[in-house]
Chains A and B, each alone.
Chain A
């Protein structure tokens, strides 16, 4: 009876319905798993925005929700980059904020009052569920097997490479951009396959959304033309290709130009020139195809060669002339650093100083992708087996994304989708081969009429696995791998990617959890105890957090467009007090905030980042700040009593270690990050005074003193306050200084 029930459910039209239902249920489950596996941090800590950039996005979203879209569009933010301010509305990708704003207003319309913070926190998990669905659609286009899409969706749902950027609270552009990336690619494949203007236009629409959401849209801008170009080179020109590409390019470029931050870049920037070039090439090829219908073969060949050489030459000369004359912007530094990994360190230290711009260490491939990484090449190989247009796309994407992921850690994110696709293709093939319970050898080709050639054995090949043992062995090992994958993903997500980094967690000796909440303690101190207009100087890493949590104007923040301004802060931090003080005064700085991990052994502190400040400052003032001066004669970077005088007189060093020795018995002060024993006496600060130090000394805040009331040096004033008698200044040294009015 059960047998027949299964038969009823799985065969015929009701079988299709059953499969459809099952697919829906599986996809919903996958989405639910994708969302729930990202909630570790909310459950462990609280519903809080993570890290650095999300704090800016959160602040911008709040502004959008409070002031409406047009005010957001024209937003001039006077609380960052003091005193320059930031034309924020025109220098951000608004997609993320607008998305959460729209969700917020829809929920309000449905009379569901939800705090905007909760929408922001949960946006990334929500969109990761959608990404899984988009992944299902994309992979389905690649394979005829029904299981490939589901596998890819499941992989995408839980792979750490994507979770790393989309846990709850990680309210960053990537949160929605990866969904848009995958979905745009799906639409593009669909458009190429069908050759329909509608799908091409939909691609352009989602491409426009992608442009509004993330700077990584350039990846699409270059990948799709490359796909078209490769197809053209393979001689696969078709009207489908022409229709989909021209539709996408024309509409997509127009859509992308609507974003103020992008503006005219698509026609003026080198990064976008390949799309334009391929667009032109496609017109030429289409024209050539058209002409071929009228002219006999040999003449046509000659005409074609001549015209191709001519146009290519003209186009190249035009490009060079336009670039030389400055109409087309040259390649940006970030682009160069993609090809030459050492470029950024020499020319643009600001880019190299970001940890996520470092080259990837090889274990992180396994860490982020687990067994997918070794299925990935097999999947690419599978694409070569039936090389349709969409498979060419997978291959190109794989090659490019693999390279980029090797250059920069953060580009692991763009590699992840294609790895999921490729791995799903392989795995579904294996499962299809081994999991089917067929009674005997499947014979293929016996229905074909073609018997004119070939060997007899090849004419009637026996393909398929018949042994139940090998089926069971392979299937079970695959299942073990899958289970291990799930276990690995859960473990990585829970341990590596679910820390808000605003709140640190550590273990006490007895195993209980110890929450270190110094960041918020200090930011709330600033919020409560300083005037609303007090300017806070800190290294740029903390700019967004100060803006978001302390609501105070900052000098520099994580939007690193103004290298000079950042270098100014670097110079103030790395110079002597006498040099720094005028800089602080000129920029109206009221408080200086430093992060110091020496007491707790927190290694991400400012002394460890200090060399970047020095390097960035040296890039602008090579005569005044020299990196060499911060190293000892033997080339060591030290903070103990062997430290160089430049190091010990730098503002950063003084602020970090000011009064630190008072925590320890005489002469026992140790820095637990660098394992260094500190000099017995504390550095003396005269132009700043300590205002606040957090519980674990992670954040130290200093107040900048006003000018001395009697026009003295601060060091003299401090000495006077301590009761030291001043020595006579001009004691018969050189000519007498005469006073004249």
Chain B
């Protein structure tokens, strides 16, 4: 057992180094090593945040996402390939398996090169649709950068994204504008696992520069239906982010100044956005962790045995609490439910019998304890406490704890004399018994005398 302490030491070291909540091994798939220099600020940022960057080419035969059936990396950043595809090690099947085993993927595309069909079919599995020609770019004649793309209008200048919905947390917001050069746009299907991070502005449309026609007739999608950056959070909370424009990560655009038609020259916020994007994808933000879950009868003197019983009775008064913390870059902080949202507890058998809002009861240094109290419904069966909290950009909480709800035992009903309605019957019962006894007494003491009297008469 000598390896035990060393393993623990290694674990602590890893914990100190890794800022992501799920490991620091980051594979960067880069076909052309010469291009590495174009993104040096990004690599520097990532390394500063504790990632262990491993650069590899998809052409490398030895490259494998798995080692001995286990994940070899925690995160993968895929830059668009120059050639037609990625090769066998990064086939859609492998990437899906990687995500299924809790790996996170950031996939960057570029409008300058044709997206490989393998990628397109992988995205199709996630219900993300690319234009059929796979080489369209997003163009906007109103919100473009007049400095660098005065002719082509293919460098989009966009506000940093706002909250997706009023009830979600904001992980990508902030001051400043983003420059998105030659972005490959996509549209999203209507599934709840997908969420757009950055949409094109309402005047944007998709356009294939290789087609000579001056006008676009059969447009793929327009306006805010075009997503430029999107996120898929799988059911196991593994994250997949699709970035339409790999160029926006380049050093050049981290420090560029852009100017919209009729606007002022401003510096881009691409570096900040890239940080937010990688942090979210590699699980530095938006990660919820469930701590203790406790349920018990509502009573004052609780012992350890009273916690989390497996059986309740109908109409019991029950207390439920759940401890949730949120990971923010380098530490766990108490989780706060967004203003318009609610964390809910369901007490379910086939369908919910109760659906209650969980309110914060207590806050510790790095977690919030939410709780509620309710009466078990008057229905026996196998119920479960369920907390099913799935929100865009937050990892899924799906807790299910089965408990049995039993009926009243025979000695838990009130006794007959405590029920005032039963007094009539009890009185009837006892009066019959008393009457019978009285009759017996009278009979026993009166019968022989009459018999003797008769005998006397006959004599």
Residues of the A chain whose Cβ atoms lie less than 8 Å from the Cβ of B225: 738-739
Stretch at the interface among B104-112, B189-197, B357-365: B189-197
Residues of the B chain whose Cβ atoms lie less than 8 Å from the Cβ of A82: 382
Interchain residue pairs A-B with the least CB separation, the first 7? A76-B406, A74-B409, A78-B404, A83-B382, A709-B234, A711-B193, A711-B191
A454 adjacent to chain B (CB < 8 Å): no
A710 near B410: Cβ-Cβ < 8 Å: no
A186 to chain B, nearest CB (A): 31
Cα A710 to Cα B100 with chains together (Å):
9
Q: Which A residue sits closest to B100, measured CB to CB?
A: A709
Can you offer 18 A-B residue contacts whose CB atoms are under 8 A?
A: A74-B410, A76-B311, A76-B404, A76-B406, A78-B406, A83-B349, A83-B350, A83-B381, A586-B350, A587-B350, A709-B100, A710-B99, A710-B125, A716-B125, A726-B124, A729-B189, A736-B221, A739-B225
Q: Which B residues have a C-beta under 8 Å from some C-beta of A? A: 92-93, 96, 99-100, 121, 124-127, 129, 132, 164-165, 187-193, 195-196, 221, 225, 232, 234-236, 238, 311, 349-350, 380-383, 402, 404-407, 409-411
Cα A628 to Cα B381 with chains together (Å):
36
Cα A90 to Cα B92 with chains together (Å):
57
A87 near B407: Cβ-Cβ < 8 Å: yes
A484 adjacent to chain B (CB < 8 Å): no
A691 adjacent to chain B (CB < 8 Å): no
Q: Which B residue sits closest to A76, measured CB to CB?
A: B406
In chain A, residues 54-93, which have Cβ atoms closer than 8 Å to a Cβ of chain B? 70, 73-74, 76, 78, 82-85, 87, 90
Q: A85-B380, A85-B382, A739-B225 are in contact. Are A711 and B407 (CB under 8 A)?
A: no
A705 to chain B, nearest CB (A): 12
Residues of the A chain whose Cβ atoms lie less than 8 Å from the Cβ of B411: 70, 74
B127 near A711: Cβ-Cβ < 8 Å: yes
Residues of the B chain whose Cβ atoms lie less than 8 Å from the Cβ of A710: 96, 99, 125-127, 193, 232, 234-235
Residues of the B chain whose Cβ atoms lie less than 8 Å from the Cβ of A739: 187-190, 196, 225
B121 near A726: Cβ-Cβ < 8 Å: yes
Residues of the B chain whose Cβ atoms lie less than 8 Å from the Cβ of A711: 127, 191-193, 235
Q: Which B residue sits closest to A84, measured CB to CB?
A: B381
Residues of the B chain whose Cβ atoms lie less than 8 Å from the Cβ of A74: 406-407, 409-411
Cα A582 to Cα B96 with chains together (Å):
24
Residues of the B chain whose Cβ atoms lie less than 8 Å from the Cβ of A587: 350
A508 adjacent to chain B (CB < 8 Å): no
Q: Which A residue sits closest to B380, measured CB to CB?
A: A85
A85 near B193: Cβ-Cβ < 8 Å: no
Residues of the B chain whose Cβ atoms lie less than 8 Å from the Cβ of A84: 349, 380-382
A513 to chain B, nearest CB (A): 43
A296 adjacent to chain B (CB < 8 Å): no
Choose one: B126, B195, B238, B402; the contact of A533 (CB below 8 Å). B402
Residues of the B chain whose Cβ atoms lie less than 8 Å from the Cβ of A738: 225
Residues of the B chain whose Cβ atoms lie less than 8 Å from the Cβ of A712: 125, 127
**Contact code string A730-741 (vs B, CB < 8 Å = 1, else 0):** 000000111101
A709 near B236: Cβ-Cβ < 8 Å: yes
Q: Which A residues have a C-beta under 8 Å from some C-beta of B? A: 70, 73-74, 76, 78, 82-85, 87, 90, 260, 533, 553, 586-587, 706-712, 716, 720-721, 723, 725-726, 728-729, 736-739, 741
Cα A736 to Cα B190 with chains together (Å):
12
B382 near A720: Cβ-Cβ < 8 Å: no
Choose one: B99, B381, B383; the contact of A709 (CB below 8 Å). B99
Cα A741 to Cα B197 with chains together (Å):
12
B410 near A73: Cβ-Cβ < 8 Å: yes
Choose one: B126, B129, B165, B404; the contact of A85 (CB below 8 Å). B404
B41 to chain A, nearest CB (A): 32
A339 to chain B, nearest CB (A): 35
Cα A78 to Cα B406 with chains together (Å):
8
Q: Which A residue sits closest to B101, measured CB to CB?
A: A709
Residues of the B chain whose Cβ atoms lie less than 8 Å from the Cβ of A83: 349-350, 381-383
Cα A709 to Cα B96 with chains together (Å):
9
Name, among A553, A720, A723, A736, the residue most crowded by chain B CB atoms within 10 Å (CB to CB). A720
Q: Which A residue sits closest to B400, measured CB to CB?
A: A588
Residues of the A chain whose Cβ atoms lie less than 8 Å from the Cβ of B192: 711
Residues of the B chain whose Cβ atoms lie less than 8 Å from the Cβ of A553: 382
Choose one: A586, A707, A720; the contact of B125 (CB below 8 Å). A720
Residues of the A chain whose Cβ atoms lie less than 8 Å from the Cβ of B311: 76, 78
Cα A553 to Cα B382 with chains together (Å):
11
Cα A712 to Cα B221 with chains together (Å):
23
Residues of the B chain whose Cβ atoms lie less than 8 Å from the Cβ of A723: 93
Choose one: B96, B121, B129, B235; the contact of A707 (CB below 8 Å). B235
Q: Which A residue sits closest to B351, measured CB to CB?
A: A586
A715 to chain B, nearest CB (A): 13
Cα A537 to Cα B314 with chains together (Å):
26
A357 to chain B, nearest CB (A): 29
Q: Which B residue sits closest to A723, measured CB to CB?
A: B93
Name, among A712, A725, A728, A739, the residue most crowded by chain B CB atoms within 10 Å (CB to CB). A739
Known contacts A710-B235, A721-B93; can you find 8 more A-B pairs with CB under 8 A?
A: A74-B410, A78-B404, A82-B382, A85-B406, A710-B126, A710-B232, A726-B124, A736-B221
B381 near A85: Cβ-Cβ < 8 Å: yes
A720 near B235: Cβ-Cβ < 8 Å: no
Residues of the A chain whose Cβ atoms lie less than 8 Å from the Cβ of B189: 729, 737, 739
B243 to chain A, nearest CB (A): 19
B380 near A87: Cβ-Cβ < 8 Å: yes
Q: Which B residue sits closest to A85, measured CB to CB?
A: B381
Cα A709 to Cα B406 with chains together (Å):
35
B413 to chain A, nearest CB (A): 11
Residues of the A chain whose Cβ atoms lie less than 8 Å from the Cβ of B382: 78, 82-85, 553
Cα A710 to Cα B238 with chains together (Å):
10
Cα A711 to Cα B396 with chains together (Å):
14
Q: A709-B234, A711-B235 are in contact. Are A741 and B164 (CB under 8 A)?
A: yes
Q: Which A residue sits closest to B218, measured CB to CB?
A: A732
Name, among B129, B192, B235, the residue most crowded by chain A CB atoms within 10 Å (CB to CB). B235
Q: Which A residue sits closest to B188, measured CB to CB?
A: A739
Residues of the B chain whose Cβ atoms lie less than 8 Å from the Cβ of A716: 125
Residues of the A chain whose Cβ atoms lie less than 8 Å from the Cβ of B188: 739
Q: Which B residue sits closest to A90, measured CB to CB?
A: B407
Name, among B124, B191, B238, B383, the residue most crowded by chain A CB atoms within 10 Å (CB to CB). B124
Cα A710 to Cα B235 with chains together (Å):
7
Residues of the A chain whose Cβ atoms lie less than 8 Å from the Cβ of B406: 74, 76, 78, 85
A433 to chain B, nearest CB (A): 52
Name, among A709, A712, A721, the residue most crowded by chain B CB atoms within 10 Å (CB to CB). A709
B311 to chain A, nearest CB (A): 8
Cα A708 to Cα B126 with chains together (Å):
11
Residues of the A chain whose Cβ atoms lie less than 8 Å from the Cβ of B99: 709-710
Cα A200 to Cα B124 with chains together (Å):
82
A149 to chain B, nearest CB (A): 40
Choose one: A76, A533, A706, A728; the contact of B380 (CB below 8 Å). A76
Cα A74 to Cα B100 with chains together (Å):
46
Cα A260 to Cα B407 with chains together (Å):
14
Q: Which A residue sits closest to B166, measured CB to CB?
A: A741
B227 to chain A, nearest CB (A): 9
A48 to chain B, nearest CB (A): 30
Residues of the B chain whose Cβ atoms lie less than 8 Å from the Cβ of A85: 380-382, 404-406
B235 near A709: Cβ-Cβ < 8 Å: yes
Choose one: A78, A586, A706, A741; the contact of B165 (CB below 8 Å). A741
B96 near A720: Cβ-Cβ < 8 Å: yes
A552 to chain B, nearest CB (A): 13
Cα A70 to Cα B411 with chains together (Å):
10
Cα A559 to Cα B21 with chains together (Å):
51
B173 to chain A, nearest CB (A): 15
Cα A70 to Cα B235 with chains together (Å):
46
Cα A76 to Cα B124 with chains together (Å):
49
Name, among B99, B164, B383, B404, the residue most crowded by chain A CB atoms within 10 Å (CB to CB). B404
A547 to chain B, nearest CB (A): 14
Residues of the B chain whose Cβ atoms lie less than 8 Å from the Cβ of A708: 235
Cα A346 to Cα B187 with chains together (Å):
55
Q: Which A residue sits closest to B97, measured CB to CB?
A: A721
Cα A361 to Cα B188 with chains together (Å):
66
